[in-house]
Protein backbone atom coordinates (compact mmCIF):
# COMPACT_ATOMS: atom_id res chain seq x y z
CA UNK A 1 0.00 0.00 0.00
CA UNK A 2 1.38 3.40 -1.00
CA UNK A 3 0.74 6.28 1.36
CA UNK A 4 -0.51 9.30 -0.52
CA UNK A 5 -1.10 12.98 -0.12
CA UNK A 6 -4.00 14.70 -1.85
CA UNK A 7 -4.18 18.44 -1.12
CA UNK A 8 -7.80 19.49 -0.74
CA UNK A 9 -7.52 22.56 -3.02
CA UNK A 10 -6.56 20.51 -6.08
CA UNK A 11 -8.51 18.40 -8.55
CA UNK A 12 -7.35 14.99 -9.81
CA UNK A 13 -7.64 12.65 -12.77
CA UNK A 14 -7.89 8.87 -12.76
CA UNK A 15 -4.53 8.78 -14.53
CA UNK A 16 -2.91 10.44 -11.51
CA UNK A 17 -2.52 14.05 -12.60
CA UNK A 18 -3.32 16.93 -10.26
CA UNK A 19 -4.81 20.18 -11.50
CA UNK A 20 -4.78 23.57 -9.75
CA UNK A 21 -7.02 26.42 -10.83
CA UNK A 22 -4.92 29.59 -10.67
CA UNK A 23 -6.31 33.06 -9.87
CA UNK A 24 -5.99 34.09 -13.53
CA UNK A 25 -8.13 31.14 -14.70
CA UNK A 26 -5.23 29.05 -16.01
CA UNK A 27 -4.53 25.53 -14.79
CA UNK A 28 -1.28 24.10 -13.47
CA UNK A 29 -0.89 20.35 -14.04
CA UNK A 30 1.45 17.89 -12.37
CA UNK A 31 1.85 14.25 -11.38
CA UNK A 32 0.42 13.17 -8.02
CA UNK A 33 2.40 12.10 -5.01
CA UNK A 34 0.97 8.61 -5.42
CA UNK A 35 2.14 8.26 -9.03
CA UNK A 36 5.65 9.56 -8.43
CA UNK A 37 6.02 7.30 -5.37
CA UNK A 38 4.93 4.17 -7.23
CA UNK A 39 7.01 5.02 -10.30
CA UNK A 40 10.19 5.82 -8.42
CA UNK A 41 12.92 8.30 -9.27
CA UNK A 42 12.11 10.34 -12.38
CA UNK A 43 14.86 10.44 -14.98
CA UNK A 44 13.09 12.21 -17.87
CA UNK A 45 10.08 14.46 -18.37
CA UNK A 46 8.79 15.49 -21.79
CA UNK A 47 6.43 18.44 -21.43
CA UNK A 48 3.83 19.45 -24.03
CA UNK A 49 4.68 22.15 -26.56
CA UNK A 50 3.63 25.68 -25.65
CA UNK A 51 0.55 26.70 -27.66
CA UNK A 52 -0.40 23.04 -28.26
CA UNK A 53 -4.17 22.63 -28.45
CA UNK A 54 -5.29 19.72 -26.26
CA UNK A 55 -8.51 17.76 -25.96
CA UNK A 56 -9.35 15.96 -22.75
CA UNK A 57 -7.56 12.61 -22.69
CA UNK A 58 -4.99 13.51 -25.33
CA UNK A 59 -1.48 12.25 -24.57
CA UNK A 60 0.58 15.42 -24.24
CA UNK A 61 3.83 14.44 -22.54
CA UNK A 62 5.84 11.61 -21.05
CA UNK A 63 7.42 10.90 -17.68
CA UNK A 64 10.06 8.21 -17.33
CA UNK A 65 11.38 6.79 -14.11
CA UNK A 66 14.00 4.20 -13.29
CA UNK A 67 11.10 1.68 -13.37
CA UNK A 68 8.80 2.72 -16.20
CA UNK A 69 7.59 5.38 -18.60
CA UNK A 70 4.03 6.66 -18.93
CA UNK A 71 2.12 9.20 -20.96
CA UNK A 72 0.70 12.37 -19.43
CA UNK A 73 -2.88 13.10 -20.53
CA UNK A 74 -4.74 16.40 -20.86
CA UNK A 75 -7.22 16.77 -17.98
CA UNK A 76 -9.49 19.19 -19.91
CA UNK A 77 -9.74 20.85 -23.32
CA UNK A 78 -7.52 23.88 -23.79
CA UNK A 79 -4.13 25.18 -24.87
CA UNK A 80 -0.71 24.91 -23.26
CA UNK A 81 0.61 28.24 -22.00
CA UNK A 82 3.81 27.18 -20.22
CA UNK A 83 5.93 24.18 -19.33
CA UNK A 84 8.32 23.69 -16.46
CA UNK A 85 11.79 24.44 -17.89
CA UNK A 86 13.54 23.06 -14.79
CA UNK A 87 12.39 19.50 -15.44
CA UNK A 88 14.77 19.09 -18.38
CA UNK A 89 17.80 19.15 -16.07
CA UNK A 90 16.06 18.15 -12.85
CA UNK A 91 13.28 15.63 -13.61
CA UNK A 92 13.45 14.39 -10.03
CA UNK A 93 11.71 17.64 -8.95
CA UNK A 94 8.55 15.65 -9.72
CA UNK A 95 9.59 13.37 -6.84
CA UNK A 96 10.91 15.93 -4.38
CA UNK A 97 8.10 18.48 -4.76
CA UNK A 98 5.24 16.99 -6.82
CA UNK A 99 2.69 19.65 -5.80
CA UNK A 100 5.09 22.60 -6.02
CA UNK A 101 8.27 23.05 -8.06
CA UNK A 102 7.65 19.69 -9.77
CA UNK A 103 4.66 20.95 -11.78
CA UNK A 104 4.75 19.85 -15.43
CA UNK A 105 2.78 22.36 -17.52
CA UNK A 106 0.19 25.12 -17.46
CA UNK A 107 -2.79 25.49 -19.71
CA UNK A 108 -5.68 27.78 -20.47
CA UNK A 109 -8.87 25.73 -20.31
CA UNK A 110 -11.45 26.07 -23.05
CA UNK A 111 -14.09 26.13 -20.29
CA UNK A 112 -13.00 26.83 -16.70
CA UNK A 113 -16.03 24.87 -15.47
CA UNK A 114 -14.55 21.64 -16.86
CA UNK A 115 -12.32 21.41 -13.79
CA UNK A 116 -15.44 20.62 -11.75
CA UNK A 117 -15.71 17.33 -13.66
CA UNK A 118 -12.39 16.16 -12.19
CA UNK A 119 -12.10 14.28 -8.90
CA UNK A 120 -11.86 16.26 -5.67
CA UNK A 121 -9.35 15.15 -3.01
CA UNK A 122 -11.80 12.83 -1.23
CA UNK A 123 -12.92 11.22 -4.49
CA UNK A 124 -9.29 10.72 -5.53
CA UNK A 125 -8.47 9.13 -2.15
CA UNK A 126 -11.43 6.75 -2.60
CA UNK A 127 -10.25 5.98 -6.15
CA UNK A 128 -6.77 5.13 -4.84
CA UNK A 129 -8.24 2.92 -2.12
CA UNK A 130 -10.04 0.99 -4.86
CA UNK A 131 -6.79 0.52 -6.79
CA UNK A 132 -5.28 -1.32 -3.86
CA UNK A 133 -7.89 -4.04 -4.43
CA UNK A 134 -7.21 -4.54 -8.14
CA UNK A 135 -4.23 -5.50 -10.23
CA UNK A 136 -4.67 -3.18 -13.22
CA UNK A 137 -3.17 0.05 -11.89
CA UNK A 138 -0.78 1.16 -14.65
CA UNK A 139 1.56 2.66 -12.04
CA UNK A 140 1.98 -0.48 -9.96
CA UNK A 141 4.90 -2.80 -10.46
Q: What is the pLDDT of residues 71-110, one digit of tens each?
A: 999 999 999 999 999 999 999 999 999 999 999 999 999 9
Backbone angles phi, psi at 116, to 5 degrees: -65, -20
Strand partners, 59: 73
What is the reported pTM?
0.90
**How many C-beta atoms surround the C-beta of residue 109 within 10 A?**
21
Q: Could you give the maximum distance between any two Cα atoms of the chain, in Å?
A: 40
CATH of region 12-130: 2.40.50.100
Strand partners, 54: 78
- pLDDT value for 1: 43
Domain boundaries, the chain: 12-130
Amino acid sequence: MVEHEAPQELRYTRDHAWVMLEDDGTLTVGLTYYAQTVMGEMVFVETPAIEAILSVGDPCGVVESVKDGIDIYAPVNGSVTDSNPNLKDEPDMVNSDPYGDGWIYKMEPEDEGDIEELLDADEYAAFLAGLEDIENDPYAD
